[in-house]
């Protein structure tokens, strides 16, 4: 439980930083931007995974980042959510908080896809 909370906190910080970067580099909110956030997140997480005892598994973390970014994009495109609103930030974190532990659980299950890079 503590490990999952730490991972979600790290991924939330990374998502905020990458989202700020891509607001400037790719201002349009769409699937391309969600993919860019996830791809850049994967590169950053792969670098950080070299640190001793870094808790986030890169592929699972990038998949959770993509789920959060894509989920928010779809809600914005559907008109349910307003981009750059405080509610949008909360929705990002909620999706991330559900996606990462779910991906962790799927990775541990015998029928789950192995998303580990170690």
**Which secondary-structure segment (H or E) carries 44?**
helix 31-48
Confidence of residue 80 (pLDDT cuts 50, 70, 90): very high
Write the pLDDT tens digit of every residue in 33-55.
Answer: 999 999 999 999 999 999 999 99
Q: What is the number of other CB atoms lying within 10 angstroms of the CB of residue 18? A: 21
In the chain, domain spans: 2-108
Q: What is the DSSP letter of 84?
A: T
Q: Determine if the pTM surpasses 0.75.
A: yes
pLDDT of residue 117: 56
pLDDT of residue 107: 79
Write the pLDDT tens digit of every residue in 8-34.
Answer: 999 999 999 999 999 999 999 999 999
């Amino acid at each position: 439980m503590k490990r999952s909370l730490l991972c979600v906190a790290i991924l939330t910080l990374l998502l905020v930083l990458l989202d700020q970067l891509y607001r400037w580099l790719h201002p349009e909110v769409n699937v391309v931007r969600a993919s860019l956030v996830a791809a850049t997140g994967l590169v950053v997480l792969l670098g950080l995974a070299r640190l001793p005892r870094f808790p986030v598994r890169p592929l699972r973390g990038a998949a959770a980042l993509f789920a959060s970014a894509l989920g928010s994009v779809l809600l914005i495109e559907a008109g349910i959510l307003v981009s750059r609103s405080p509610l949008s930030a909360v929705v990002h974190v909620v999706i991330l908080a559900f996606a990462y532990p779910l991906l962790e659980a799927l990775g541990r299950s015998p029928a789950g896809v192995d998303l580990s890079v170690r």
